[in-house]
């Protein structure tokens, strides 16, 4: 659900914000803002916990879990799930520490 930040509903950046908060890291809510909070890492250097962003306008994101998979909130009415990252155009990875 757009704008939702959990725990009962999430949009993509609300899910990443919620997950990072559980790890003690504060993030803003929206994808463009989260893109600016992390430092870039290459796909080859991506590791579990990195943020992954999609499309040139950064309108979708998730948490990379390794092995070309991510956890994400796909769209309204669909549950949070694990998805392969090779089906969506990747804009980049960011590491927030």
Residue 5 domain flag: no
Mean pLDDT for the stretch of residues 41-48:
97
Side by side, the strands of the sheet bearing 51-54 are 39-41, 90-95, 51-54, 60-66, 69-72, 81-84
pLDDT greater than 70 at residue 74 = yes
What CATH number is given to the structural domain containing 65? 3.90.1720.10
Show the domain range for 67. 12-95
Mean pLDDT for the stretch of residues 28-46:
94
Chain-wide mean pLDDT for the chain?
A: 89
What is the value of pTM for the model shown?
A: 0.89
Residue 3 domain flag: no
pLDDT greater than 60 at residue 20 = yes
Which amino acids are annotated catalytic? 12, 60, 72
User: So what's the pLDDT on residue 5?
Assistant: 55
């Amino acid at each position: 659900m757009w704008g939702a930040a959990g725990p009962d509903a999430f949009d993509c950046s609300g899910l990443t914000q919620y997950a990072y908060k559980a790890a003690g890291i504060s993030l803003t809510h929206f994808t463009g803002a989260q893109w600016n909070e992390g430092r870039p890492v290459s796909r080859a250097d991506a590791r579990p916990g990195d943020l992954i962003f999609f499309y040139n306008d950064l309108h979708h994101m998730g948490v990379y879990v390794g092995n070309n998979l991510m956890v994400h909130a796909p769209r309204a009415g669909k549950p949070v799930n694990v998805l392969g990252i090779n089906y969506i155009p990747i804009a980049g990875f960011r590491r927030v520490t």
